[in-house]
Structure 1
């Protein structure tokens, strides 16, 4: 959900700029900053951006610059003085020699371009300007969405590689399953024999069969395979798969945890640990997908 979008609209005496930045977040956390002259459009701008981007920590900035020479303007003296004074203070604090006209000549134009310094005498915004602002917002969101699509494709490819790895590890468990059953039987028999008390060998065999059946992991492997298949289908086929992939990842985790609890074999447990490592990376990345 990280991204950046920017758009500009050039009018007769003004240039409007809209910039949108986004970071990862489970929910929508939207901040919109607009100049006072466009305050009446802030609510609609917020709705347009929120409806399309849906999730992420999003900062949207609207600014404008007066470009014509014939437009009557006022300079807000208090705002200009505040900006200019702070710049001089920062220069002094950092040992910058403010030698007068040369530096003033460079700083003054920069201060005049800062927000709210220059105000148009015609504070009313025309319908044409309002529509230009809306188009500018939509174009900036378009650029943001394109950025997200490119990032999303990279993330999906990474997620699917990790799903492939989990399936591979599942298959690597198979050769150890039969040996695991024999190892468990041998361990139980040796432990009972070490007690030095008589026991019914047939009854012991029956109990061991029952015990080993409870440790069978066939169902967990089948469900794990089905979850991996469903994960791929959602990742490749849905427009905004992030939330659903998160739920599927939780189901994957349940099956992998059950495999680990039933393992009773060192090599299988190692494979399960590798699965968990891949799954944790999947869960982290899913949070970045819309």
Structure 2
């Protein structure tokens, strides 16, 4: 069965006249009649009753007309859909992100993109950097927001989305509360809540190296795997913590944030996508991201 046979049958069924149907389909009447006959032979069902005076639908023909119209509507819809996809007007974008990205301008960028592209569906996945990279490479993500420290990014394109300094999170009532700024050397002996080594080994070494340069080893009392958990533990009074400046947007009671001076790496979030991904939707999203980048002027200490 061919799509043109469905088109011809719909025309005959609606016109109930082979001559008018042939004119509608812009073909001669004999070829049209032959196509309808072949269709009936293939189905082994009589669709039309023909006499010298009139053409009418059999019960099977009436049901087949309903199904053929549905096929035609779906085909029209499919064509419109793929044309919209080609223009980046419709489709899906799968976004992966690390938890701290939710405190950056990423939510605002996503909102702006959704408002400008209401017919594009967005699918979100919160995962660590290490978890996101293989998912991105296997085409189960279109773009990933990660924190890179020594990770293999072969075959991927990148855009720095956020660069900001570390600040010190302290519990209310801490003796640092009266200070405007904290020097890293002031942290000697302070109970410190720290990132887990296993989550980002290169970052862990870089931060520990900053304390070594300041002349002491940090007094780590607890290791955690997310910035949100870190701030939560600071609020309990367990210790102080180095956190990205954007963490101050988390208005958690019992915690305040102080600028931190010292030879520390910058805190960065990078957007990654496959170099071979030519999606128009992805390109439009990246253009939106550029409007919401937050990049401090001073360069990162850790080479990306």
TM-score (norm 2): 0.20
**Larger fraction in helix:** 1
TM-score (norm 1): 0.20
**Larger fraction in strand:** 2
